[in-house]
Each structure stands twice: as C-alpha cells, then as structure tokens.
Amino acid sequence: MLSIRNFIAPLTLTVIVFFAGCTKEDVIPFEPHVDQQVASNPTDLTILDILNSYQTKIIYKWDRRYISADASATPPQFELIKPYIDNVLRKLFIAAYDRQKSDFMVKHMPIEMIFIGSSINYDAGDERNFSASGMAQSFSRILITGINNYNLTNTSWLRGQYATLHHEFAHVLDKIYGRPTGFDDVSKGKYAGSTSFGVFTQAEARTRGFWKNYGMTSEGEDFATWVDGIVTTPKADVLTIAESNDLLNRKYKMVYNFYLDKGIDLHVLYDYLQTILN
C-alpha cells in the first residue's frame, strides 16, 4: 500500500518544480501608451477627412497580409494617393451615389479601402497567371489596384478604375443585403468556376445569361459584373443586350431594381460618370 508520506513527497516536488519554472520566465516589459500620430501632411489630412465623413479608413502603407501568399503586388506611390482620392475616389465613386441619395455612402462605404500600386498578380496556385484589378473581402474591406498608373488623360485607365470601384462596391452591397431573390437560379448549372471561365467567348457567356465570361466564376461575380457593365455602358446598349435572351433580361431587371429600390438608378450613374469622363 502506498503510504501518505510517499504520496506527499512527489507532490511537493512537483509543486516546487512548477513554481521554480514560473520564476524563470522573462519579465514582461512595460510599454507606455503611444498616442496616435496626428495627420500633418496633405495626404493624411485628406485620408482623415474621408474617415471623419464616411468612417472609412484608407490604407496605403504596404502590408503583405492584404494579399494571398500565392500573389504579388506593388505598393502605391505616396505622391499619387491624394490626387487619386480627390479626382477618382471622390468624383467617380462617392459622388456618383451621393448625388442621387445624399446619405447613401455614409451608410454603405466599406470600413477599409486598401490602395495597391499595381494589379494583384497570382504567381502560383489555382489562379496562376491571373491578374485581379480589385478585391472585396466581406462588406468591410475592398482592395483597389492600379494607383501607380494614375493618369487623368488616360480615359481607358479612368474607365477601368471606376469600373473596378463600382464592381467591388457591388460585392459590399451583396454582402449587406444579399443578391436579388432568384438571381442565383437564372443561370444555375451554367457557371464555369474560377479557373475555367476563360474558355468561353463573350457570345457564349451571353447565351448563358452572363454579362461577360468572368461572371461565370461564381454567383457573386455574376452580380458584380452586371453592375460594372451597366455603369460603363450606354442605357440603349444595355437594353439591347438584355433583350437578347430571357436569361439576360431577367438578370438585368433584378440588378437594376436592386439598386433602384435603394435610391440609385444605375443608368443615371452611368450618365454622370460619362459627363465627368468627358
């Protein structure tokens, strides 16, 4: 039979070893509180104004964690941040909605907007050789690329920028409200997936009810490509495309009415963007 003395001795030893181990831990250093750095230059003051007005934090300092491990990108040039905010973000994105409904962007702006100098280029993985012009991460963050190509005289670049902004913002609204009821069923069984959409031509994609073949990657991209398609295409052309077949017509009406119910007419938005572009 194990005696009480024999039981207590190992237990005491264990307790002594435990406390001895604790005393060997390094002391946690005291780190005094550091006040947040006050914006002192025009760029950071502009970013602060966006934060105060829309509760949106614009992040331009490079952080590798914002893109996946199998992708690469280039940080934005500091001197282009303020001009981009003033001439692209404010005029071609925020104002496009606020002029139709004054509080729309106060209620719907993403919490974070990450500025990236180049496109996001996938170097490995399933999306190898694919370049992304933007990305939405839930309703709280969107990534905007191509800042380093800033050129107000380049209409192709400008059109690509506001197409990307409105495309990624469509993902934000999708996450907040959900896509229109029945939208996902219109082309059910006709999606190609993230790596196979490229084998379909524009004409083939349209027969399946998609604005363009990239929309075939998923229901979310299908919805967002319809949005950027409408805001970059004259109304008459959009209606002609929509009337090509029943699938296109049903999706067009769903997307258009989704925004209209919230006070935004996408065709009016196109007219405004075109006026700014001209």
Using the 3D structure, point to which of 94, 126, 157 is the last residue of a domain: 157
Q: Regarding predicted confidence, which is higher, 198 or 163? A: 163
- Mapped onto helix, strand or coil, the DSSP state of residue 11 is helix
CATH, residue 104: 3.40.390.70
Q: What's residue 119's pLDDT?
A: 74
Nearest-angstrom CA–CA distance, 43 and 81? 7
Residue range of the domain that includes 221: 179-278
Q: What's residue 122's pLDDT?
A: 62
Q: What's residue 131's pLDDT?
A: 54
Query: Which two three-digit tokens encode residue 275?
Result: 């006026």
Q: What is the pLDDT of residues 125-144, one digit of tens each?
A: 444 544 555 566 666 888 89
Q: Regarding predicted confidence, which is higher, 202 or 129? A: 202
What's the number of domains the chain is made of? 2
Nearest-angstrom CA–CA distance, 215 and 235? 20
Output the DSSP codes for 141-161.
Answer: EEEE--GGG--TT-HHHHHHH
Same domain flag for 152 and 207: no
Q: What's residue 141's pLDDT?
A: 86
In a domain, 216, yes or no: yes
In a domain, 164, yes or no: no
Confidence band, pLDDT 50/70/90 cuts, at residue 23: very low
pLDDT at 12 over 50: no
pLDDT at 199 over 60: yes
Residue 99 dihedral angles phi and psi, to the nearest 5°: -70, -20
- 162 within 8 A of 92, measured Cβ to Cβ: yes
